[in-house]
């Protein structure tokens, strides 16, 4: 109904299920964790409607039947960011068109008897909170990145980090280890538009009713305790990954059902390999490697004389050395796979990874040792924590900061140390302990589970028991 020209959502009775609209930013790495969080909410008795843009919704497949699917416009309904003239043009248009189409969606849902009680929105879309306040419903911001990364952006937004940053500068932030220039997200140095976009997610976050983040309290305890003093309703609700690799609490939650890519050529190949004998290599679905780096990785894998499984996107295959398949008889190169199924396979010895946060959470949750080769965005900061804080990986060093190439000798050394060295044994021990910690947090009675119950009970109108 409307009061003084503003849409006000009708309140439900406590006896009915609270209804959450989960609004995800249109990118696979943002959709996946928010879908997994949505499954947890449904499991705890919530009604959930998943929402993303009309341009991206066409890419989704096999949405869980337990939730509804709706869409809003980003202003580019027939192609999304790919057809915009620039990232800035896309973001500007989205912030103009998105709010009105979101209000229309909320009105439509109310008219058909499904008024929304709470919007859980990707923190990148700050304008969603303005809509929630306008219509009088709860707004819950959802942070998709590592808490250390969030803290860096938040302090930059406060003016506590100044650019440009020199090689000699030390960045000292509350409850975090000392950081150097190369530990910061790449956007500080090469993409002011993206830096502003990511920093702006903290411009109004203090007005959100809840701030939820995709990790566990125990993984980021010091930062979490510091941040809770700033935002009292700040809660860990992760890791938001399929229940299959945690506690199997959600039936048939085997993988990211909505993933754009569906391919499994490699499990049978892995089944025929000894335990802990295969190096798994994957750099995600976005950032391309140059031909020189591809060659260095290829020959490092060959020279290590270990079995390897390497995911090389179809668009990248032409960058492989021309003779590589002939001279490397111990490897399998594929264009895609179910990463979860690969990482949990007993044949995997370690993971050579770009350190994206979703991949990192999967790796930590499965206790797989890591060889870190960060490429862009938040990955360098994630790598810093993997290697120096959690001590579950080794970082493959660049030959120099300008060219940023990991040479074959350096990568080979990391592989040999991880598989056969004393440091590798210690890393495997740490990874196993961290896996146990994550499982406890995500399971019934754990910190993340308790936080989710607190959030759900607050929406249902009950006290947390």
* pLDDT tens, residue order, the chain (465 aa): 443 344 444 444 333 689 999 999 999 999 999 999 999 999 999 999 999 999 999 888 778 788 999 999 999 999 999 999 999 999 999 999 999 999 999 999 999 999 999 999 999 999 999 999 999 999 999 999 999 999 999 999 999 999 999 999 999 999 999 999 999 999 999 999 999 999 999 999 999 999 999 999 999 999 999 999 999 999 999 999 999 889 888 887 877 754 444 456 699 999 999 999 999 999 988 889 999 999 999 999 999 999 999 999 999 999 999 888 767 789 999 998 999 999 999 999 999 999 999 999 999 999 999 999 999 999 999 999 999 999 999 999 999 767 789 999 999 999 999 999 999 999 999 999 999 999 999 999 999 999 999 999 999 873 333
Q: Please, are residues 238 and 190 in contact by the beta-carbon 8 Å criterion?
A: no
- Answer yes or no: 19 catalytic: no
With b for 16 or more beta-carbon neighbours within 10 A and e for fewer, the 114-126 pattern comes to: ebbbbbbbbbbbb
Cα–Cα distance for residue pair 435/276, rounded to 1 Å: 17
What is the phi/psi pair of residue 23, to 5°?
Answer: -105, 110
Cα–Cα distance for residue pair 392/387, rounded to 1 Å: 6
Q: Give the pLDDT confidence score for residue 271 in this predicted structure.
A: 96
Q: List Cβ neighbours of 196 (8 Å cut-off, separation of 6 or more).
A: none
Q: Give the pLDDT confidence score for residue 43 in this predicted structure.
A: 94
Model pTM greater than 0.85?
A: yes
Burial of residue 431 (CB within 10 Å: 0-12, 13-18, 19+) is buried
Tokens found for residue 127:
């304008």
Q: Give the pLDDT confidence score for residue 103 in this predicted structure.
A: 98
User: In Å, how far from its chain's centre is CA 284?
Assistant: 11
Tell me which DSSP letter residue 286 carries: S
What is the phi/psi pair of residue 212, to 5°?
Answer: -110, 145
What is the DSSP pairing of strand 2-3 with strand 278-282? unpaired
Cα–Cα distance for residue pair 426/438, rounded to 1 Å: 19
Residue 171: how many CA atoms within 13 Å on its side-chain side? 26
Cα three-residue angle 35-38-42, rounded to 5 degrees: 140
308 vs 59, 344, 346, 352, CA distance in Å?
31, 15, 14, 10
Q: Give the pLDDT confidence score for residue 59 in this predicted structure.
A: 83
Q: List Cβ neighbours of 394 (8 Å cut-off, separation of 6 or more).
A: 370, 371, 372, 387, 414, 417, 418, 423, 427
Active-site choice (74, 77, 117, 122): 122
What is the DSSP pairing of strand 19-23 with strand 6-7? unpaired
Tokens found for residue 333:
């190169």
Containing 299, the helix (H) or strand (E) segment is helix 291-304
DSSP characters over 113-128? T---SEEEEETT-THH
Q: Which residue has the tokens 């025929």?
A: 272
Give the chain's domains with CATH numbers: 2-257+443-460 (3.40.50.2000), 267-439 (3.40.50.2000)
Q: Give the pLDDT confidence score for residue 263 in this predicted structure.
A: 52
Q: Give the pLDDT confidence score for residue 9 in this predicted structure.
A: 43
Q: Please, are residues 456 and 14 in contact by the beta-carbon 8 Å criterion?
A: no
- Answer yes or no: 30 catalytic: yes
Tokens found for residue 1:
């109904």
Active-site choice (30, 345, 354, 449): 30
Cα three-residue angle 459-460-461, rounded to 5 degrees: 90
The closest of 326, 329, 266, 318 to 295, measured between CA atoms, is 318
Cα–Cα distance for residue pair 398/435, rounded to 1 Å: 29
110 vs 5, 11, 20, 179, 459, CA distance in Å?
16, 10, 13, 48, 17
Q: Please, are residues 183 and 381 in contact by the beta-carbon 8 Å criterion?
A: yes
Q: Give the pLDDT confidence score for residue 83 in this predicted structure.
A: 96
Residues paired with residue 52 on neighbouring β-strands, in sequence order:
71
With b for 16 or more beta-carbon neighbours within 10 A and e for fewer, the 343-378 pattern comes to: bbbebbbbbbbbbbbbbbbbbbbbbbbbbbbbbbbb
């Amino acid at each position: 109904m409307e009061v003084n020209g503003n849409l006000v959502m009708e309140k439900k009775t406590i006896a009915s299920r609270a209804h959450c609209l989960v609004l995800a930013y249109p990118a696979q790495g943002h959709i996946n964790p928010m879908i997994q969080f949505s499954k947890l909410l449904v499991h705890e008795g919530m009604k959930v409607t998943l929402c993303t843009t009309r341009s991206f919704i066409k890419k989704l497949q096999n949405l869980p039947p337990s939730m509804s699917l709706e869409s809003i416009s980003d202003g580019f309904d027939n192609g999304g960011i790919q057809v915009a003239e620039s990232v800035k043009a896309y973001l500007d248009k989205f912030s103009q068109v998105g709010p009105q189409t979101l209000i229309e969606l909320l009105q439509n849902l109310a008219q058909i008897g499904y008024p929304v009680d709470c919007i859980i929105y990707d923190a990148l879309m700050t304008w969603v909170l303005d809509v929630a306040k306008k219509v009088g419903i709860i707004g819950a911001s959802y942070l998709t990145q590592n808490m250390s990364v969030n803290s860096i952006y938040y302090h930059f937004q406060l003016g506590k980090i100044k650019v440009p940053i020199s090689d000699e500068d030390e960045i000292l932030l509350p409850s975090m280890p000392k950081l150097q220039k190369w530990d910061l997200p790449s956007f500080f140095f090469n993409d002011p538009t993206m830096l502003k976009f990511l920093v702006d997610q903290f411009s109004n976050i203090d007005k959100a009713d809840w701030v939820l983040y995709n990790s566990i309290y125990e993984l980021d305890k010091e930062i979490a305790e510091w941040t809770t003093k700033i935002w009292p309703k700040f809660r860990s609700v992760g890791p938001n990954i399929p229940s299959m690799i945690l506690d199997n609490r959600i039936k048939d939650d085997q993988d990211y059902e909505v993933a754009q890519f569906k391919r499994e050529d490699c499990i049978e190949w892995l089944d025929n390999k000894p335990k802990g004998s295969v190096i798994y290599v994957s750099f995600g679905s976005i950032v391309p490697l140059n031909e020189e780096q591809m060659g260095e990785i290829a020959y490092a894998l060959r020279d290590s004389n270990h079995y390897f499984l390497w995911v090389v996107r179809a668009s990248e295959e032409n960058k492989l050395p021309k003779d590589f398949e002939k001279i490397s008889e111990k490897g399998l190169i594929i264009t895609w796979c179910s990463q979860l199924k690969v990482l949990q396979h007993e044949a995997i010895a370690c993971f050579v990874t770009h350190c994206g946060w979703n991949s990192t959470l999967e790796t930590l949750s499965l206790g797989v040792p890591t060889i870190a080769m960060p490429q862009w965005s938040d990955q360098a900061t994630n790598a810093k924590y993997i290697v120096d804080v959690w001590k579950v990986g080794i970082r493959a060093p660049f030959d120099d900061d300008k060219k940023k190439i990991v040479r074959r000798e350096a990568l080979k050394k990391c592989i040999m140390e991880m598989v056969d060295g004393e440091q590798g044994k210690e890393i495997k021990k740490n990874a196993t302990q961290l896996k146990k910690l994550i499982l406890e947090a995500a399971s019934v009675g754990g910190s993340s589970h308790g936080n989710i119950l607190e959030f759900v009970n607050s929406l249902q109108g009950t006290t947390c028991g």
